Homo-oligomer: A and B are copies of this chain.
Amino acid sequence: MEGRIHTDRRYEAELKSLHVKILEMGGFVEKQIAGAVAALVSRDDAQARLIIERDHAINRIDVEIDELCLRLLALHQPAGRDLRLITTGLKITTDLERVGDMAVNVCERALDLNREPQLKPFIDIPRMAEVAQRMLRESLDSFVREDVEAALGVCREDDVIDALTAQLFNELLTFMIRDPQTISRTIPLLFIAKYLERIGDHATNIAEMVVFMVKGKSIRHMDQVPPSV
Q: Can you list, as one digit per residue, whether each of A56-74 has a CB less than 8 Å from chain B (1) or not (0)?
A: 1001001100100110011
A111–B95 CA distance with the chains assembled, in angstroms: 29
A221 on the B face (CB < 8 A): yes
Q: Would you give the shortest CB distance from A79 to chain B, in whole angstroms?
A: 5
A190 on the B face (CB < 8 A): yes
Note all chain B residues with C-beta closer than 8 A to A205: 94
A50 on the B face (CB < 8 A): no
Note all chain B residues with C-beta closer than 8 A to A79: 74
Q: Would you give the shortest CB distance from A175 to chain B, in whole angstroms?
A: 10
Cβ contact within 8 Å between B176 and A180 = yes
| CB-CB contacts below 8 Å: A48-96 with B | 55-56, 59, 62-63, 66, 69-70, 73-74, 77, 79-80, 83-84, 87, 90-91, 94-95
Note all chain B residues with C-beta closer than 8 A to A80: 74
A41 on the B face (CB < 8 A): no
Note all chain B residues with C-beta closer than 8 A to A73: 73, 83, 87
A225 on the B face (CB < 8 A): no
A97–B176 CA distance with the chains assembled, in angstroms: 34
Known contacts A55-B221, A221-B59; decide if A183 and B177 are in contact (CB<8 Å). Answer: yes
Chain A residues with a Cβ closer than 8 Å to the other chain, count? 37
Note all chain B residues with C-beta closer than 8 A to A10: none
User: Nearest residue in B to A91 (C-beta to C-beta)?
Assistant: B94
Note all chain B residues with C-beta closer than 8 A to A87: 66, 69-70, 73, 87, 90
Note all chain B residues with C-beta closer than 8 A to A7: none
A66–B87 CA distance with the chains assembled, in angstroms: 9
A194–B105 CA distance with the chains assembled, in angstroms: 13
Q: Can you list, as one digit per residue, whether each of A175-197 has a CB less than 8 Å from chain B (1) or not (0)?
A: 01100110110010011001000
| CB-CB contacts below 8 Å: A145-190 with B | 173, 176-177, 180-181, 183-184, 187, 190
A218 on the B face (CB < 8 A): yes
A70–B90 CA distance with the chains assembled, in angstroms: 12
A127 on the B face (CB < 8 A): no
Across the A-B interface, the 8 shortest Cβ-Cβ residue pairs: A77-B77, A180-B180, A74-B79, A59-B221, A177-B180, A59-B220, A63-B218, A56-B221
